[in-house]
Chains A and B, each alone.
Chain A
Amino acid sequence: MSGPVIKCENVYKIFGANAEKMLKDSNGNVDAKTFQENGCIVGVNNASFEVAKGEMLVVMGLSGSGKSTLLRCISRLTDATGGKIFIEGQDLLQLNNKDLIDLRRNKMGMVFQSFALLPHKTVVENIAFPLQIKGVKTKDSISKAMDMVKLVGLDGRENYFPRELSGGQQQRVGIARSLAVEPDIWFLDEPFSALDPLIRKEMQDEFLRLQEKLQKTIMFITHDFDEALKLADRIAIMKDGIIEQLDTPANIVLNPATEYVRKFTEEVPREKVLLIEDIMDKTKDNLGDLKVSKDEIIENVAEKILTQEKSVAVIDNDNNIIGSIDPAKIINTVFGGRKNNI
């Protein structure tokens, strides 16, 4: 499959009685304020982006920014008011109910903030639920679900009911359930927001491990900027329904597009986010003996670099020198950016 897995073109979602007519009249220039005066609430405002196969796009925004609404448009839990959404080239909004159900049964999985487990089914029955809905035989679905139980590390608890599990364990069940049909596209709607910080970190690591193994195409919703930085290939920052900036974590930290984005990046420890590649110079003169890989996170090599007097060579995967980095540059990156803000 070539081309993007998910592709959005000018997607709008507006709540209200005569939303569609108002959108048509506005010619694509949606102003939230005028809409609100007319009794409409703008959820998603002109969102266009693509997600490639195996990529993880994290949508970050505070509550009410429209990030969950955007996700629900793409999973068609709500119908977008305007624009086009393509899933693997298929026009999502044109699908009839039967095709949509087929798509969800085979291609999509979703994890929810409040876990959304069925209270009357055990762990293994919950995980087998999407398979059984699809019509897989009970025996096969249970054995497949058991594999999933092992994958998320809940063996021995398969016959527990959701009420008997902790939050973290419940979300593991939610994750296992969403993966049971082996979907290509994985939606996660603030999956770790309801968990306490220690469990959250554990689950994030677990999630990264899973993704390494499974290589799904992912849309991940969060309101936690640190979580976004930690997980994302690319981040979309949303505010009032508008995508303010969509870029790699490094670019967002280094070149915030708007004042709003900059506020988020201020407190971010750069050395934990940026790679050597992001701050290196192209010059290759006056190099010392030390070489560092371009894919290293600054924090990991900062100490080594700072003990050098000369610039340090930056190499790519084939050991070719592609640039250099000065110790002063490291100091400037880690502490320098903040001086301006005091």
Chain B
Amino acid sequence: MEFFKKYPKTFQWLFLLVVFFALCFAIEVPETYKFIRGQAEFVKDPNQSSYVFLGKEVRYYAFDVFWRLPPLLGWLPIWINDSLFFLMNEWMPIEVWNEDTQEYKSRPLVLQISRNITAFMTFLIQLIREVLLGGLETIVAFTSWDWIDKNPWAELPGLPWTIVAAGAALLSYKLSGKGLALFAGLTMVYISIFGQWKPSMQTLSFILVAAPLSFIFGLGLGIAAFKSKRVEKALYPILLVMQTMPQYAVLVPALVLFGVGDHAAVIITMVVAVPPMILLTILGLRAVPPEVIEAGRMSGCNNFQLMFKVLIPTARRDILIGVNQVIMVCFSMAVISAFIGAKGLGFNLLLALNQLNIGLALEAGLCISLIAILLDKMSLAWANKQEDYFGNLTFFERNKNLLFFAATVVIGLILAYIGTFLFKDTFNYLFEIPHNKGISTADFWNKGVDWIFETFFVYIKAFNTWLIQEVLQPMRALYLRMPAIATIVLVVGAGYLIGGIRSALVVCGLTLFIALSPWWDRALVTTYMATFGVIVSCTIGFTVGTLCFQNKHSANFMLGVCDIFQTFPSFVYLIPVMMLFGITDTSVLIAVIVYATIPATRYTIEGLRSVPAGLHDAATMSGVNKFQRLTKIEFPLAFPHMMLGINQTIVFALFMVIIGAFIGTEDLGQYILKALSDKKGAGIGLTLGICVAFIALIFDNLIRAYVQKRKKHLGID
């Protein structure tokens, strides 16, 4: 008893666990329960129960309420779907002038708006694409096909790759210096020589449209949220869900609203990229010292001047970090949105993966990663760049880079012109190296994969079988064996013990949503995969992070590695694991582990670093050895920050688990993928996405509550 009085929390946790296990054992598995059949497959089966709500019929397999809750929210996806269709096809018809038939036509408002946005986006993408690659549709948009037939000179020729490469190198030089310039040049040359120029430029044009638009919207909404508490309160929950929602899930509604193609991809990318921009804008504006704002006011600024001449320039760095985030999201979406018809490297990557042509996939993946790293480094350099003073420089010094660029344009054009003589019979390699005319290493890689498979097949297979049979299957069975009521009790209890009644209520609401949706079983499978990934990732991440922290150089090196790995679009991770492990759950899990280890490692190092130097000295003077210092001083103090790392790890793991559906899993992700090809999938996709987001938010809520309490306790902020 003495023990319990001393540690009341331990007692409470023990009690919670006892209740949980008691519930697990008390509630038997119903005989009719079969996982694969699922609860609501929307097929008619005489064994199913059904109910009607809001005019939608929901069919499901009924179980004991304690075992699985009935899908009382089953009508939601159907309802969302129907509402979307109603909005698109029937709501608010307006008269629209039709240019071709010369008469008014009635069309629903939302459809018309969506058409207009679509047309605008398509125009923007076309414009940039044709500047980079050449074409005539932009000119046609302003004139007509007849005009372009008469004036063939007006067709945009596209920039020779030499000019784009030189431009990238010059810009990198201006932003950062020689190192980055060299990297930029080499990347461009690599892309060109290996025949990936066209898809790369298509991807680039997609990003050049999506990123600035996301930036503008994010900045605008961020400013609005900064100025008005009400806007912030309205935005906050949406931001939270959007940050944890798998990007797959948003694709489906976009498909319905905007159709298939690059424009839809841009819009959906904006939906995903705007939230981090908003958050960083708010963060940056909040960080402006109040005295600077007062100084602005006392200088007689009106609100507009205060925002654009004082606040935004002062918050410049945070806002530019937001731009960096936007670009990273754009790259990851550049691949994922290939599912709804975005052209470019992502499309090639998906195609190659689908055909199991690992070599081609690797080439495309490498290209997209290289461009991503390049743009990441460039935008970071821009953010960290201090402004210089130009007032007392000569015209040449001020416009040095512009002049250099003009020179490269001239040289590039001359080279391209010379090229027309050099390569009379073949393609003009100095202008643009066409796809599949460059050097291809695909065969080499494919042979390599074959070799690995032939040589190590036995071992890999053995490992695979062991992992699946001995670890994964039992773990999955355990998760599925949990009665719904026991899970809810466990989660809510944990919420109460960690964050009090408020936390418990929030967590309860989130869990109930999933439990009442038709996909509780699938959600359990998602959670099991994510948990496995998180446990392994955290173990690796904490170990590697702690080891690297022992030495300043290795810590910096590791952070650099984390930076680069984080830049890769998430899909790229699937390539090597498919190479090694083929199409199995193991592949997905290994991709999850690799991807989720990044934040675990990063936060461990950062957390350990944040321990104040004074404490180090104090500990050393108390005569601790290295190990004691680590366990007694550094770990306890770094722990809150490391917990935030776990939080990130969970989000990353869930993302990858969902993307893993591409390889073939049985969880929520698979259903999202299915919804993508389903005409009525919008509601299902969105609800599934919300389910995944809620899984992440449950953990997020618990961890944040804990961290806040702990930080308060330790007096660090």
Q: What residues make up the interface of A, taking CB atoms closer than 8 Å to B?
A: 72, 75, 77, 97, 101-102, 104-106, 108-110, 112-122, 129-130, 133-134, 159, 161, 163, 174, 177-178, 181, 187
In the complex, B299 has a CB within 8 A of chain A: yes
* Chain A residues within an 8 Å CB radius of B387: 120, 161
Q: How far is the CB of A207 from chain B (nearest CB, A)?
A: 18
* Chain A residues within an 8 Å CB radius of B298: 75, 77, 104, 108-110, 178, 187
What total of chain B residues lie within 8 Å of the partner, measured CB to CB?
22
Of B314, B386, B389, B392, the contact of A118 (CB 8 Å cutoff):
B314
Residues 277-311 of B at the A interface (beta carbon under 8 Å): 289, 291-292, 294-295, 297-302, 305, 309-310
Of B302, B305, B316, B391, the contact of A159 (CB 8 Å cutoff):
B391
10 A-B residue pairs with Cβ-Cβ distance under 8 Å, sorted by A, are A101-B301, A104-B300, A114-B291, A116-B294, A118-B314, A122-B391, A133-B309, A159-B391, A161-B386, A177-B295
In the complex, B313 has a CB within 8 A of chain A: yes
CA distance A122 to B294 in the complex (A): 19
Q: How far is the CB of B40 from chain A (nearest CB, A)?
A: 49
CA distance A181 to B289 in the complex (A): 23
Assess A118 versus B305: contact at CB under 8 Å? Given A110-B295, A161-B389. Answer: no
A112 and B299 contacting across the interface, CB-CB below 8 Å? no
CA distance A104 to B294 in the complex (A): 11
B314 and A101 contacting across the interface, CB-CB below 8 Å? no
- B328-365 toward A: CB 8 Å interface, digit per residue (1/0)? 00000000000000000000000000000000000000
B291 and A177 contacting across the interface, CB-CB below 8 Å? no
A129 and B389 contacting across the interface, CB-CB below 8 Å? no
- B307-329 toward A: CB 8 Å interface, digit per residue (1/0)? 00110011010000000000000
B299 and A130 contacting across the interface, CB-CB below 8 Å? yes
* Chain A residues within an 8 Å CB radius of B313: 118-121
* Chain A residues within an 8 Å CB radius of B300: 101-102, 104-106, 130, 133-134, 181
Residue in B289, B291, B313 with the greatest tally of chain A CB atoms within 10 Å: B291
B302 and A122 contacting across the interface, CB-CB below 8 Å? no
* Chain B residues within an 8 Å CB radius of A133: 299-301, 305, 309
Q: Which 4 pairs show the lowest CB-CB distances between chains A and B?
A: A105-B300, A130-B299, A116-B295, A116-B291
Chain A: CB-nearest residue to B294? A77
18 A-B pairs besides A77-B294, A120-B314, A133-B305 with CB distance below 8 A are A72-B294, A104-B299, A106-B300, A110-B294, A110-B298, A112-B295, A116-B289, A116-B292, A116-B294, A117-B295, A118-B295, A118-B310, A118-B313, A130-B299, A134-B300, A159-B389, A177-B295, A181-B300
Q: How far is the CB of A303 from chain B (nearest CB, A)?
A: 46
CA distance A117 to B288 in the complex (A): 11
A159 and B294 contacting across the interface, CB-CB below 8 Å? no
* Chain B residues within an 8 Å CB radius of A119: 313-314
Q: How far is the CB of A160 from chain B (nearest CB, A)?
A: 8
CA distance A112 to B289 in the complex (A): 11
A122 and B389 contacting across the interface, CB-CB below 8 Å? yes
CA distance A102 to B298 in the complex (A): 10
CA distance A121 to B310 in the complex (A): 10
* Chain A residues within an 8 Å CB radius of B392: 159
* Chain A residues within an 8 Å CB radius of B302: 97, 101
Q: How far is the CB of A73 from chain B (nearest CB, A)?
A: 13
B314 and A113 contacting across the interface, CB-CB below 8 Å? no
Q: How far is the CB of A186 from chain B (nearest CB, A)?
A: 11
Residue in B291, B297, B299, B310 with the greatest tally of chain A CB atoms within 10 Å: B299
B291 and A113 contacting across the interface, CB-CB below 8 Å? yes
Residues 368-411 of B at the A interface (beta carbon under 8 Å): 386-387, 389, 391-392
* Chain B residues within an 8 Å CB radius of A102: 300
* Chain B residues within an 8 Å CB radius of A105: 299-300
Residue in A105, A110, A116 with the greatest tally of chain B CB atoms within 10 Å: A116
Chain B: CB-nearest residue to A102? B300
Residue in A75, A105, A113, A118 with the greatest tally of chain B CB atoms within 10 Å: A118
A112 and B310 contacting across the interface, CB-CB below 8 Å? no
Q: How far is the CB of B316 from chain A (nearest CB, A)?
A: 6
B295 and A120 contacting across the interface, CB-CB below 8 Å? no
* Chain A residues within an 8 Å CB radius of B305: 133
* Chain A residues within an 8 Å CB radius of B391: 122, 159
Q: How far is the CB of B114 from chain A (nearest CB, A)?
A: 40
B386 and A177 contacting across the interface, CB-CB below 8 Å? no
Chain A: CB-nearest residue to B300? A105
Of A108, A134, A163, A178, the contact of B386 (CB 8 Å cutoff):
A163
CA distance A101 to B304 in the complex (A): 12
* Chain B residues within an 8 Å CB radius of A106: 300
CA distance A288 to B295 in the complex (A): 57
CA distance A75 to B294 in the complex (A): 10
Chain B: CB-nearest residue to A114? B291
Q: How far is the CB of A157 from chain B (nearest CB, A)?
A: 11
Chain A: CB-nearest residue to B310? A118
Q: How far is the CB of B96 from chain A (nearest CB, A)?
A: 43
Q: How far is the CB of A110 from chain B (nearest CB, A)?
A: 4
Chain A: CB-nearest residue to B312? A120
Chain A: CB-nearest residue to B301? A133
Q: How far is the CB of B227 from chain A (nearest CB, A)?
A: 15
* Chain A residues within an 8 Å CB radius of B299: 104-105, 129-130, 133, 177
* Chain A residues within an 8 Å CB radius of B289: 114, 116
CA distance A104 to B301 in the complex (A): 9
* Chain B residues within an 8 Å CB radius of A117: 292, 295
Q: How far is the CB of B131 from chain A (nearest CB, A)?
A: 31
Q: How far is the CB of A122 from chain B (nearest CB, A)?
A: 5
CA distance A115 to B291 in the complex (A): 8
CA distance A176 to B427 in the complex (A): 65
Chain A: CB-nearest residue to B299? A130
- B519-540 toward A: CB 8 Å interface, digit per residue (1/0)? 0000000000000000000000
B295 and A104 contacting across the interface, CB-CB below 8 Å? no
B309 and A112 contacting across the interface, CB-CB below 8 Å? no
Q: How far is the CB of B202 from chain A (nearest CB, A)?
A: 36
* Chain A residues within an 8 Å CB radius of B316: 120
Q: How far is the CB of A162 from chain B (nearest CB, A)?
A: 11
* Chain B residues within an 8 Å CB radius of A174: 295
Q: How far is the CB of A325 from chain B (nearest CB, A)?
A: 46
* Chain B residues within an 8 Å CB radius of A181: 300
* Chain B residues within an 8 Å CB radius of A118: 292, 295, 310, 313-314
Q: How far is the CB of A79 from chain B (nearest CB, A)?
A: 13
CA distance A129 to B301 in the complex (A): 10
Chain B: CB-nearest residue to A120? B313
